[in-house]
């Protein structure tokens, strides 16, 4: 690939799953229904050892740097450099451009993923392997999007693919009846996650959040749900509320009736006193069914929580009789096989899983939790008990379950969360060095394998009151555009990011891959 980067493109030997040691297990399509050694009490010691967050960032210092970033003028790609970046796409991505134009006639906006890079037009990918993506024009990129998070092992790892292929030969992707892999995946998750005694698979993280909220309402017989403002919990009617930016309430709730969000409330992150006030207020009006949060902080730690926040929320939930729901769609298995709950030593009542749960294969969603609560999700046509109704024709299909099970085995065998976290540390350290050397206001930090690179700070604007929100509208638009331009410049230098501001690392990110990436980031930052 001829990228804008002055450093040479990474060699294929630096990738990817092919450089991983071979799997000792030969996947079978018809696993025996072994108990898997998964009884919770048999594996209690796993939880402590499987965290992949070597150090929690100094969040107080980070918030000072965020404030400094958004209180000074933006530092975008220079106006004289941006045309060169955009020219790169015209000169090197003709195939993607053609496909994007066709897509725009049959797909709204020509793109179906909300995190997809689409400035100046979406790239069409032909090959994904390990740490790299290759587009239809043959350009090769280092992949820090990692499909939005699920491919902790890197893209398309052979150990998972071979197990999936074997299953497809024997029973195809779906039967609608019980399959051994459903049981084995559930056993595996229960073994690792302290708060998961039982698991119910669903079709996506969004579905699982909806189900968890319904389950909490069923169990507590209460209505109100408090989320931490700015968090993303999928696109269900009730949770497109206070999304991405705290205290923005129904700002994005287009097409959603007021009644759908009438029992959703939000609280600022890191403000246990405000949460207490809301819980107290709710107690006088029928109580709170659940507090729902992303345990690293809204938007995968874009606004990171202080180390003690989750424990404070746990204590408040106990005091007010609300269930605590951890949305571990991102942190599930990335934070370690025990999730963020094992890292923090805080056990939620319910856990929502997605993404890594099925190793990057479709239908990634599940609710896990305490047995007495989970029993209100009893499935099947014979049940007469009071239950929270959830379901899905394709949920818990053998394809998703075989992929998830073998992805988890592979993650255990290779310590993928730990290896990915080390790559995240290396990437963050390198980014900090570049930022410091070039005197830029940007902020780089990581929580294990989730690396944040705040250049425009658009998601860090202070929107904590209506007045501030109104005042910052234009500023937010400008900063969002800057983030898009940064994303485009990264791409033109062979780097795919999550919307220009987040980087997921994986097992496939060797030191060589990370160092190659850092050279490219340095080239981009030279253009600012």
Ligand X SMILES: Cc1ncc(COP(=O)(O)O)c(C=O)c1O
Whether 355 is a known active-site residue: answer: yes
In the list 17, 204, 264, 400, the residue contacting ligand X (rule: CB under 6 A) is: 204
**Alpha-carbon Rg for the chain in angstroms:** 23
Whether 84 is a known active-site residue: answer: no
Contact segment (CB under 6 A) with ligand X among 30-38, 303-311, 323-331, 481-489 equals 323-331
Catalytic residue among 355, 361, 442, 523: 355
**Cβ at position 205, least distance to ligand X in Å:** 2
Alpha carbon distance 488, 465 (integer Å): 32
Q: Which is nearer to ligand X, 135 or 328 (CB)?
A: 328
Strands 323-327 and 288-293: parallel
**Cβ at position 86, least distance to ligand X in Å:** 28
Spatial CA neighbour of 143 closest among 407, 517, 450: 517
**Cβ at position 363, least distance to ligand X in Å:** 9
Alpha carbon distance 451, 240 (integer Å): 25
DSSP structural state of residue 186 = H
Whether 327 is a known active-site residue: answer: yes
**Cβ at position 203, least distance to ligand X in Å:** 8
Q: Which is nearer to ligand X, 275 or 330 (CB)?
A: 330
Spatial CA neighbour of 359 closest among 419, 418, 401: 401
Tell me which residues in 220-239 interact with ligand X (CB under 6 A): 232-234
In the list 137, 143, 187, 327, the residue contacting ligand X (rule: CB under 6 A) is: 327
Tell whether residue 390 is a contact of ligand X (CB under 6 A).
no
In this structure, are residues 417 and 333 in contact, taking their beta carbons and an 8 Å threshold? yes
The helix (run of H) or strand (run of E) holding residue 452 is strand 450-454
Q: Which is nearer to ligand X, 148 or 211 (CB)?
A: 148
Tell me which residues in 274-303 interact with ligand X (CB under 6 A): 294
In the list 354, 398, 487, 500, the residue contacting ligand X (rule: CB under 6 A) is: 354
Q: Which is nearer to ligand X, 130 or 298 (CB)?
A: 298
In the list 103, 145, 329, 458, the residue contacting ligand X (rule: CB under 6 A) is: 329
In the list 9, 157, 205, 332, the residue contacting ligand X (rule: CB under 6 A) is: 205
**Cβ at position 202, least distance to ligand X in Å:** 9
Tokens coding 221? 């017989």
Catalytic residue among 36, 97, 143, 232: 232
Q: Which is nearer to ligand X, 172 or 362 (CB)?
A: 362
Alpha carbon distance 498, 145 (integer Å): 5
Which residue's beta carbon is nearest to the bound ligand X?
205
Q: Which is nearer to ligand X, 365 or 457 (CB)?
A: 365
Determine the 3-state secondary structure of 134 from DSSP.
strand
Binding marks (x or -) toward ligand X, 395..424, rule CB under 6 A? Answer: ------------------------------
- How many residues sit close enough to ligand X to count as binding (CB under 6 A)? 15
Q: What are the strands of the beta sheet with 198-202, ordered from one edge? A: 198-202, 365-369, 350-354, 323-327, 288-293, 224-228, 264-267
Inter-axis angle of helices 398-414 and 158-171, nearest 10:
150
Q: Which is nearer to ligand X, 148 or 154 (CB)?
A: 148
**Cβ at position 225, least distance to ligand X in Å:** 14
Tell me which residues in 138-197 interact with ligand X (CB under 6 A): 148
DSSP structural state of residue 236 = -
**Cβ at position 300, least distance to ligand X in Å:** 6
Q: CA 148, 406, 130: angle at the middle one, nearest 5?
A: 45
Tell whether residue 247 is a contact of ligand X (CB under 6 A).
no
Determine the 3-state secondary structure of 417 from DSSP.
helix
Contact segment (CB under 6 A) with ligand X among 198-206, 272-280, 302-310, 493-501 equals 198-206
Inter-axis angle of helices 94-106 and 82-92, nearest 10:
90
Q: Which is nearer to ligand X, 143 or 294 (CB)?
A: 294
Residues contacting 35, CB < 8 A, separation 6+ = 187
Q: Which is nearer to ligand X, 139 or 261 (CB)?
A: 261
**Cβ at position 349, least distance to ligand X in Å:** 17
How many Cα atoms within 13 Å fall on the side-chain side of residue 218? 20
Tell whether residue 266 is a contact of ligand X (CB under 6 A).
no
Contact segment (CB under 6 A) with ligand X among 22-30, 204-212, 216-224, 258-266 equals 204-212
Tell whether residue 265 is a contact of ligand X (CB under 6 A).
no
Catalytic residue among 327, 349, 509, 523: 327
**Cβ at position 137, least distance to ligand X in Å:** 28
Alpha carbon distance 357, 27 (integer Å): 18
CB under 8 A, 24+ apart: contacts of 301-305: 301/447, 301/450, 301/452, 302/230, 302/452, 302/454, 302/459, 302/460, 302/501, 302/502, 303/230, 303/246, 303/269, 303/270, 303/459, 303/460, 304/57, 304/59, 304/62, 304/445, 304/447, 305/59, 305/269, 305/270
In the list 17, 155, 206, 491, the residue contacting ligand X (rule: CB under 6 A) is: 206
Contact segment (CB under 6 A) with ligand X among 324-332, 374-382, 458-466, 510-518 equals 324-332
**Cβ at position 355, least distance to ligand X in Å:** 7
The helix (run of H) or strand (run of E) holding residue 224 is strand 224-228
Q: Where in the sequence numbering do the catalytic residues fall?
A: 232, 327, 355
**Interface positions with ligand X (CB under 6 A):** 148, 204-206, 209, 232-234, 294, 327, 329-330, 354, 364-365
């Amino acid at each position: 690939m001829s990228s804008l980067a002055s450093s040479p493109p990474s060699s294929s030997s630096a990738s990817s799953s092919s450089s991983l040691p071979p799997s000792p297990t030969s996947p079978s399509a018809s696993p025996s229904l072994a108990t898997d050694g998964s009884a919770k009490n048999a594996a209690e010691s796993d939880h402590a050892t499987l965290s992949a967050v070597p150090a929690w960032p100094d969040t107080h210092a980070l918030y000072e740097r965020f404030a400094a970033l958004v209180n000074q003028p933006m530092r975008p790609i220079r106006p004289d450099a941006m045309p060169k970046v955009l020219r790169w796409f015209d000169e090197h991505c003709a195939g993607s451009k053609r496909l994007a134009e066709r897509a725009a006639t049959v797909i709204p906006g020509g793109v179906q993923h909300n995190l997809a890079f689409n400035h100046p037009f979406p790239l069409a990918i032909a090959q994904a392997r390990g740490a790299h993506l290759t587009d239809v024009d043959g350009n090769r990129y280092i992949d820090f999007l990692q499909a939005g998070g699920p491919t902790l092992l890197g893209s398309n790892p052979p150990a998972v693919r071979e197990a999936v292929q074997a299953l497809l030969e024997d029973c195809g992707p779906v039967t609608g009846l019980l399959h051994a892999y459903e049981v084995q995946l559930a056993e595996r998750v229960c073994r690792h996650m302290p708060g998961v005694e039982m698991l119910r698979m669903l079709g996506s993280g969004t579905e699982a959040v909806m189900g968890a909220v319904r389950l909490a309402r069923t169990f507590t017989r209460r209505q109100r749900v408090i989320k931490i403002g700015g968090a993303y919990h999928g696109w269900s009617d009730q949770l497109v509320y206070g999304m991405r930016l705290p205290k923005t309430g129904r700002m994005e709730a287009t097409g959603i009736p007021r009644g759908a969000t009438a029992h959703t409330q939000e609280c600022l992150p890191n403000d246990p006193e405000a949460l207490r006030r809301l819980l107290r207020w709710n107690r006088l009006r029928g109580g709170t069914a659940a507090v729902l949060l992303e345990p690293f902080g809204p938007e995968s730690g874009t606004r990171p929580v202080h180390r003690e926040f989750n424990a404070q929320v746990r204590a408040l939930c106990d005091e007010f009789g609300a269930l605590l729901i951890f949305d571990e769609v991102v942190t599930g298995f990335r934070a370690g096989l025990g999730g963020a709950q094992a890292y923090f030593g805080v056990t939620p009542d319910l856990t929502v899983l997605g993404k890594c749960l099925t190793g990057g294969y479709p239908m990634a969603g599940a609710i896990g939790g305490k047995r007495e609560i989970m029993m209100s999700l009893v499935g099947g046509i014979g049940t007469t008990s009071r239950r929270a109704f959830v379901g899905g024709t394709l949920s818990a299909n053998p394809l998703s379950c075989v992929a998830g099970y073998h992805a988890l085995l592979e993650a255990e065998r290779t310590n993928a969360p730990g290896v990915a976290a080390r790559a995240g540390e290396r990437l963050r350290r390198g980014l900090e060095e570049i930022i410091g050397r070039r005197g830029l206001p940007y902020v780089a930090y990581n929580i294990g394998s989730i690396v944040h690179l705040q250049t425009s700070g658009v998601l860090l604007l202070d929107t904590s009151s209506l007045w501030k929100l109104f005042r910052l509208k234009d500023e937010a638009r400008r900063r969002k555009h800057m983030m898009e331009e940064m994303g485009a410049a990264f791409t033109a230098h062979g780097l795919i990011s999550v919307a220009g501001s987040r980087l997921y690392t994986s097992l496939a990110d060797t030191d060589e891959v990370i160092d190659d990436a850092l050279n490219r980031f340095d080239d981009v930052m030279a253009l600012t």
